[in-house]
C-alpha cells in the first residue's frame, strides 16, 4: 500500500471517530437541552399572586402585609370581570320574566365561562371555599395563566369535515357567544389587564425541591421523592458494592486457581518420597475435584452473565416474592427491600467491572507482596484492591446511575405515589416515593397531566442532576485515586 | 501473625520483629548472613514436566552466588523455589530436599511467611507498589506488626541507606514510587527487601531491565551487601556474574552442570558444556 493511501486511511479513520463522538455529543445536547430548559422551568418561573397567596396561607412564607396590599390591588383589577359575570348572572336568574327567558340561552356558556375564570383567578366572590387545595387558588404560574386566558378568549374546536385529513384546529372568539350581554366587554378587558389581575413576578421556587407535595404534585414539592431515590441508590450501593467486589475477588483470585480443591487436598498429605511414585489415587481424586470446581466457577460466571440480562421487572417481582413475602425483610414495601432488589440488579455490573479491574493489576505487584511474606488475603487487601480501585469505581459509578433511574424493580418493593420524607431508620421498614416512580405515575395516572407537565420535567431534571452529581463525585474520587497510584 | 510464628516448625523470626518499639530500634545493624541453602536431589515439576532435576548444591553463606545458564534451563525456577514463590503457580510441585539452615523449606507445616521474611526477593522488572516510597519500604515491617511510626522511619532510612538510595529520595519519601527511574525503582525494591532484615537475598536478573549506568549501580550495591547477606543472583550476563559473584553455578536443561568458585569456573571449567556456554558457543 502506498504511503499516501495509508495516510489517507489513517486520517479518514480519525475523522470518522471524531465525527461519531461529535454526533454523540450533539445527540446528548439535543436530549438534555430541552429537558434541562423545561426542567429549570419548574424551579424558575413567573409566579402569580395566587402562588404567593398559596405560599402564605399554607406554608407561612412571605410578608402578610405586602401580600394584603397586593391582593387589594389585584381584587380591584379583577372587579370589572366579576362585575360583568355577576350582571349576566343577575339577568339570567333574577331579572324580569321576559328578560330571563331572553337570557336563558346564555346559561350554559356562562357556566363554562365561570368555570374557566375560576380556574384562572380562583373562586369567584361569594362562592364557598373549595375543599381541594388547588381549586382554592387561581393559576400559580404565569405561563399556565396565559394559556388559561387563551382558553377564555377563544373556544378551541376541531374541524373534521374533510375525512381525509386530520382535524383542523379552529379558534373561535368566545365573545361571539356573549354578543349584547353585560359580559361582552369582559374579554377585551381580560386581554388587556391580565397582568394586573395576576401580577406575575420572576421567582426561584426552591419549594419545588424541598416541600412536601400538595394535591398530587399540582404545586411541586418533590422532597420525599428525592430523599427516597437517594436512600434507594445509597442502600443499593452499600449492599451491592462489597458483595460484588468480594465476588470479583473470588472469581479472579480463587476461582481460577482451584482454591477450594487445593485447600481440601492440602489437608491430605502428599507422598513425597520419589517423583515417580506419586500416589495416583490422590492425584486422580484431586483432578476430579479440580474439574468439579472449574465447572462450578464457570456455572457461577454464566449465572452472573445471565443475571445481567434479566429484565428489571423480573427483579421487581423477585424482590416482592422473595424478599418481602418469603423472608419478610419488611412487612410491606420498604426502602430496604427496594435497595436489596436494586442491589441484585446492579450486582452483575459491579462484579464484571471489578473482575476486569482486579485482573488488570500487574502480576508483579502480587509477586512483590508475596515475596515480602504477605499472605494471599494480605496481598489482596493491601496491594491488589487499592490498585484496582479506580476500575472498581468505574463499574460502581455506572451501576449507581442505573440504580437511581430504575423504576420496575421498585414498583413492587419500595415505591409509593405519595409519602413523607423518611429518616434513615424509617427507611428500613417503610416505603417511599422515588423520582423515577413519581415521574412514571405522573405520566400515566395523573388526572390533569397537562397541568403538571412542568412538575414532570422538573422531576426528570432533578433525577438527571442527581445521577450526574453522583457520577461526578465518583469520577473525581476515581481521578484522585488514579493520580495517587500513577505517581 | 503471632499464631503462625508460634507453630512448632515455624522458622524463627528475628527477635526484633517479635518485640515491639523499644527493642526494634536496635534492629541489628549486621545481618548474620550465615544461612546455608542446601539442595539435595531436588526436583521441581510443572505438572509432569521436570523443570529442575536432581540438583544437589550447597550455597555458601555470606557470599554472592551467581546462577547462569541459557534460557529455560530452570535457573529462575530454582531461585524462586528458595522462598517458595513457585507456590503461586498451582501446577508446580517439588520433590527432594531444599533446606535453609537444615530446615526443609517444603515441609508441610512450615510457616511460609517467616521463610519469606528470612529470604527476600528482588525481581527482574522493578515492581514497586503504586504507593509512596515510605509505604513501599514499610510494607514488609508492617506485615510483621511494626506499627510505631518512629521505628518505621528508622527502618526506612536504614534500608534506603543500605540500598544507596537515601540521598536521592530522602526529601521525597511521600512521593509515589512509580514516579522514579527504573534504576531507582530497582534499588527501592532492594531496599524494600532489606527492610525486613532477611538473611538471604534472591535476585532474579535484577539488572536486565536497566540501562548500563543503573546496572553498574546495582552491581556496586551487590558488592556492598556482600558478606552481610547470602546473595543468590540469576543472570544472563556472564560478565556480570564474573564481576559480582564469588561462586557460580551453571544450569543446563534443568540440571546443575557445574558449581564452583567464579574465578575457577570462568577460567578452568571442568565440564565441556560449561566451557561451551561461557565461551559463547551456544546459549
What spatial distance separates the first Cα and last Cα of chain B, rounded to whole Å? Answer: 45
Name the grid cell of B147: 506499627
Burial of A138 (0-12, 13-18, 19+ CB in 10 A): buried
Among the listed residues B117, B35, B39, B123, the one whose alpha carbon sits nearest the alpha carbon of residue B81: B39
Q: DSSP of A234-286, one letter per residue?
A: HHHHHHHHHHHHHHHHIIIIIGGGTHHHHHHHHTSPPP-S-STT--HHHHHHH
**Among the partner residues B121, B129, B180, nearest to A365 by beta-carbon distance:** B129
Q: Is B114 on the interface with A (CB under 8 A)?
A: yes
**Among the partner residues A258, A367, A374, nearest to B143 by beta-carbon distance:** A374
Residue the block writes with cell 420525599: A224
pLDDT band at B31 (very low <50, low <70, confident <90, very high): very low
Please, what is the average pLDDT of chain A?
A: 87
Among the listed residues A376, A409, A377, the one whose alpha carbon sits nearest the alpha carbon of residue A239: A409
Question: ∠ at Cα A245 (A256, A317), nearest 5°?
Answer: 105
| pLDDT digits 0-9 by tens, B160-193 | 998 889 999 889 999 999 989 999 999 999 999 9
Q: Is A326 on the interface with B (CB under 8 A)?
A: no
**Eight-class DSSP state of B210:** S
Q: What is the pLDDT of residue A266?
A: 73
| Helices within chain B (DSSP H only) | 2-5, 15-18, 21-24, 75-82, 112-118, 133-143, 149-162, 166-169, 182-194, 212-225, 238-244, 262-267, 272-278
- Residues B179, A275: C-beta atoms closer than 8 Å: no
- Residues A387, B140: C-beta atoms closer than 8 Å: no
Q: What is the pLDDT of residue A278?
A: 53
Indicate if the pLDDT at residue A219 is higher than 80: no
Domain membership flag for residue B241 = yes
Mean pLDDT in residue range A253-278: 67
d(CA A143, CA A193): 15
Domain membership flag for residue B251 = yes
Among the listed residues B201, B212, B189, B209, the one whose alpha carbon sits nearest the alpha carbon of residue B66: B201
Among the listed residues B139, B157, B147, B126, the one whose alpha carbon sits nearest the alpha carbon of residue B196: B139
Among the listed residues A23, A152, A161, the one whose alpha carbon sits nearest the alpha carbon of residue A81: A152
**Among the partner residues A275, A368, A383, nearest to B43 by beta-carbon distance:** A275
Q: DSSP of A358-377, one letter per residue?
A: HHTS-HHHHHHHHHTT--HH
Domain membership flag for residue B15 = yes
Indicate if the pLDDT at residue B245 is higher than 80: yes
* B30 Cβ neighbours under 8 A, 6+ residues apart: B228
Residue the block writes with cell 521525597: B172
| pLDDT digits 0-9 by tens, A168-206 | 888 889 988 888 888 888 899 999 999 999 999 999 988
**Among the partner residues B45, B131, B139, nearest to A372 by beta-carbon distance:** B139
Q: Is B121 on the interface with A (CB under 8 A)?
A: yes
| pLDDT digits 0-9 by tens, B55-64 | 999 998 889 9
Tally Cβ neighbours within 10 Å of residue A208.
23
- Percentage of chain A beyond pLDDT 70 is 97
Q: What is the pLDDT of residue A182?
A: 87
Q: What is the CATH number of the domain that holds B194?
A: 3.40.50.300
> How many Å separate Cα A416 from the centre of its chain?
14
User: What domains sit in chain A, N to C, each tagged with a CATH number?
Assistant: 50-203 (no CATH), 223-269+279-486 (1.10.3720.10)
Rounded to a whole number of angstroms, the distance from the CA of B128 to the nearest CA of chain A is 7
- Residues A257, B127: C-beta atoms closer than 8 Å: no
Among the listed residues B121, B124, B120, B122, the one whose alpha carbon sits nearest the alpha carbon of residue B207: B124
Domain membership flag for residue B245 = yes
Domain membership flag for residue B204 = yes
Mean pLDDT in residue range B138-158: 91
- Residues B90, A258: C-beta atoms closer than 8 Å: yes
| pLDDT digits 0-9 by tens, A73-125 | 999 999 999 999 998 888 888 878 888 888 888 888 899 999 999 989 989 88
**Contact at 8 Å (CB) between B75 and B94?**
no
Domain membership flag for residue B26 = no
* A354 Cβ neighbours under 8 A, 6+ residues apart: A244, A245, A247, A248, A249, A388, A391, A392, A395
**Among the partner residues B83, B90, B117, nearest to A262 by beta-carbon distance:** B90
| pLDDT digits 0-9 by tens, A315-349 | 999 999 999 899 888 888 899 999 999 999 999 99
- Residues B128, A368: C-beta atoms closer than 8 Å: yes
- Residues A365, B127: C-beta atoms closer than 8 Å: yes
pLDDT band at B137 (very low <50, low <70, confident <90, very high): very high
Q: Is A25 on the interface with B (CB under 8 A)?
A: no
**Contact at 8 Å (CB) between B57 and B79?**
no
Mean pLDDT in residue range A410-428: 85
Interface probe, candidates B129, B132, B136, B196, chain A, greatest A C-beta count within 10 A = B129
Sort out which chain B residues have CB atoms less than 8 A from A371's CB and list them: 83, 85, 116, 120-121, 123, 193
**Contact at 8 Å (CB) between A312 and A406?**
yes
Within 13 A of A336's CA, how many CA atoms are on the CB side?
16
Rounded to a whole number of angstroms, the distance from the CA of A260 to the nearest CA of chain B is 12
- Cβ–Cβ pairs < 8 A, chains A and B: 90
Sort out which chain B residues have CB atoms less than 8 A from A487's CB and list them: 130, 175-180
Please, what is the average pLDDT of chain B?
A: 83
Q: Is B144 on the interface with A (CB under 8 A)?
A: yes
**Contact at 8 Å (CB) between A438 and A417?**
yes
> Residues 347-376, chain A: which have Cβ within 8 Å of B?
362, 364-375
Tally Cβ neighbours within 10 Å of residue B55.
22
Domain count, chain B: 1
Domain membership flag for residue B117 = yes
Q: What is the pLDDT of residue A7?
A: 92
ipTM of this complex prediction, to 2 decimal places: 0.81
Q: Report the SS3 class of residue A60.
A: coil
Tally Cβ neighbours within 10 Å of residue A483.
11
**Among the partner residues A257, A272, A487, nearest to B179 by beta-carbon distance:** A487
Name the grid cell of A35: 429537558
* Full domain range(s) for residue B182: 2-21+31-278
> Residues 209-238, chain B: which have Cβ within 8 Å of A?
none
Buried b (16+ CB within 10 A) or exposed e, A155-193: beeeeeeeeeeeeeeeeeebbebbeebbbeebbeebeee
- Residues A485, B178: C-beta atoms closer than 8 Å: yes
Residue the block writes with cell 402578610: A64
Report chain A's C-alpha Rg in angstroms: 34
Indicate if the pLDDT at residue B3 is higher than 50: no
Sign of the CA dihedral with B85 first, then B87, B89, and B91 last:
positive
**In what helix (H) or strand (E) does residue B280 lie, and over which residues does it extend?**
none
**Among the partner residues A367, A382, A486, nearest to B178 by beta-carbon distance:** A486
Q: Is B117 on the interface with A (CB under 8 A)?
A: yes
Q: Is B140 on the interface with A (CB under 8 A)?
A: yes
pLDDT band at A385 (very low <50, low <70, confident <90, very high): very high
Amino acid at each position: 500500500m502506498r504511503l499516501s493511501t495509508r495516510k489517507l486511511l489513517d486520517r479518514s479513520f480519525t475523522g470518522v471517530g471524531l465525527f461519531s463522538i461529535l454526533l454523540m455529543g450533539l445527540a446528548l445536547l439535543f436530549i438534555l437541552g430541552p429537558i434541562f430548559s423545561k426542567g429549570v422551568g419548574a424551579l424558575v418561573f413567573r409566579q402569580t399572586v395566587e402562588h404567593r397567596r398559596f405560599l402564605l396561607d399554607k406554608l407561612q412564607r412571605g410578608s402578610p402585609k405586602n401580600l394584603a396590599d397586593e391582593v387589594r390591588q389585584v381584587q380591584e383589577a379583577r372587579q370589572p370581570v366579576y362585575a360583568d359575570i355577576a350582571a349576566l348572572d343577575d339577568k339570567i336568574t333574577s331579572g324580569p320574566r321576559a328578560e330571563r327567558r331572553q337570557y336563558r340561552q346564555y346559561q350554559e356558556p356562562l357556566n363554562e365561562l365561570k368555570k374557566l375564570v375560576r380556574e384562572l383567578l380562583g373562586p369567584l366572590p361569594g362562592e364557598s371555599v373549595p375543599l381541594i387545595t388547588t381549586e382554592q387558588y387561581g393559576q400559580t404560574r404565569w405561563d399556565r395563566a396565559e394559556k388559561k386566558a387563551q382558553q377564555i378568549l377563544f373556544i378551541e374546536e376541531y374541524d373534521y369535515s374533510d375525512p381525509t385529513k386530520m382535524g383542523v384546529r379552529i379558534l373561535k372568539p368566545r365573545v361571539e357567544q356573549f354578543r349584547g350581554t353585560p359580559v361582552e366587554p369582559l374579554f377585551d378587558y381580560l386581554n388587556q389587564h391580565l397582568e394586573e389581575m395576576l401580577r406575575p413576578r420572576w421567582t426561584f421556587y426552591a419549594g419545588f425541591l424541598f416541600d412536601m407535595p400538595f394535591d398530587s404534585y399540582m404545586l411541586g414539592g418533590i422532597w420525599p421523592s428525592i430523599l427516597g431515590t437517594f436512600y434507594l441508590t445509597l442502600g443499593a450501593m452499600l449492599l451491592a458494592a462489597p458483595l460484588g467486589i468480594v465476588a470479583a475477588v473470588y472469581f479472579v483470585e480463587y476461582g481460577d486457581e482451584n482454591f477450594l480443591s487445593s485447600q481440601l487436598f492440602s489437608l491430605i498429605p502428599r507422598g513425597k518420597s520419589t517423583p515417580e511414585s506419586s500416589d495416583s489415587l490422590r492425584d486422580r481424586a484431586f483432578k476430579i475435584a479440580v474439574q468439579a470446581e472449574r465447572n462450578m466457577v464457570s456455572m457461577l460466571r454464566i449465572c452472573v452473565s445471565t443475571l445481567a440480562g434479566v429484565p428489571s421487572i423480573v427483579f421487581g417481582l423477585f424482590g416482592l416474592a422473595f424478599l418481602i413475602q418469603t423472608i419478610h425483610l419488611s412487612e410491606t414495601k420498604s426502602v430496604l427491600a427496594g435497595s436489596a432488589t436494586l442491589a441484585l440488579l446492579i450486582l452483575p455490573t459491579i462484579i464484571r467491572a471489578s473482575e476486569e479491574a482486579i485482573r488488570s493489576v500487574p502480576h508483579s505487584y502480587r509477586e512483590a507482596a508475596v515475596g515480602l511474606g504477605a499472605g494471599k488475603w494480605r496481598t489482596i487487601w493491601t496491594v491488589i484492591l487499592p490498585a484496582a480501585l479506580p476500575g472498581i469505581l468505574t463499574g460502581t459509578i455506572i451501576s449507581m446511575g442505573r440504580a437511581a433511574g430504575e423504576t420496575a424493580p421498585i414498583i413492587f418493593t419500595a415505591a409509593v405515589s405519595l409519602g413523607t420524607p423518611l429518616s434513615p431508620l424509617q427507611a428500613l421498614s417503610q416505603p417511599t416515593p422515588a423520582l423515577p416512580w413519581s415521574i412514571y405515575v405522573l405520566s400515566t395516572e395523573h388526572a390533569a397531566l397537562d397541568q403538571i407537565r412542568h412538575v414532570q420535567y422538573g422531576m426528570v431534571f432533578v433525577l438527571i442532576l442527581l445521577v450526574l452529581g453522583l457520577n461526578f463525585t465518583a469520577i473525581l474520587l476515581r481521578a484522585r485515586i488514579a493520580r495517587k497510584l500513577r505517581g | 501473625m503471632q499464631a503462625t510464628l508460634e507453630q512448632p516448625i515455624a522458622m524463627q523470626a528475628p527477635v526484633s520483629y517479635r518485640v515491639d518499639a523499644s527493642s526494634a530500634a536496635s534492629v541489628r545493624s549486621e545481618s548474620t548472613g550465615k544461612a546455608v541453602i542446601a539442595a539435595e536431589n531436588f526436583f521441581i515439576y510443572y505438572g509432569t514436566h521436570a523443570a529442575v532435576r536432581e540438583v544437589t548444591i550447597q550455597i555458601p553463606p555470606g557470599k554472592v552466588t551467581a546462577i547462569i545458564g541459557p534460557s529455560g534451563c530452570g535457573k529462575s525456577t530454582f531461585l524462586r523455589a528458595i522462598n517458595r514463590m513457585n507456590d503461586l503457580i498451582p501446577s508446580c510441585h517439588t520433590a527432594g530436599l531444599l533446606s535453609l539452615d537444615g530446615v526443609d523449606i517444603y515441609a508441610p507445616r512450615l510457616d511460609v511467611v517467616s521463610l519469606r521474611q528470612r529470604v527476600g526477593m528482588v525481581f527482574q522488572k522493578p515492581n514497586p507498589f503504586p504507593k509512596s516510597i515510605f509505604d513501599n519500604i514499610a510494607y514488609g515491617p508492617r506485615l510483621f506488626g511494626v506499627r510505631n511510626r518512629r521505628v518505621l522511619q528508622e527502618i526506612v532510612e536504614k534500608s534506603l541507606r543500605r540500598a544507596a538510595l537515601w540521598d536521592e529520595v530522602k526529601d521525597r519519601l511521600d512521593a509515589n514510587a512509580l514516579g522514579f527511574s527504573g534504576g531507582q525503582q530497582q534499588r527501592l525494591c532492594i531496599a524494600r527487601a532489606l527492610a525486613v532484615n532477611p538473611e538471604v537475598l534472591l535476585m532474579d536478573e535484577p539488572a536486565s531491565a536497566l540501562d548500563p549506568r543503573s546496572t553498574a549501580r546495582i552491581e556496586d550495591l551487590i558488592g556492598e551487601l556482600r558478606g552481610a547477606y547470602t546473595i543468590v543472583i540469576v543472570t544472563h550476563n556472564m560478565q556480570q556474574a564474573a564481576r559480582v559473584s564469588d561462586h557460580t553455578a551453571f544450569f543446563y536443561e534443568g540440571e546443575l552442570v557445574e558449581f564452583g568458585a567464579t574465578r575457577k569456573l570462568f577460567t578452568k571449567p571442568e565440564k565441556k558444556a560449561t566451557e561451551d556456554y561461557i565461551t559463547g558457543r551456544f546459549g
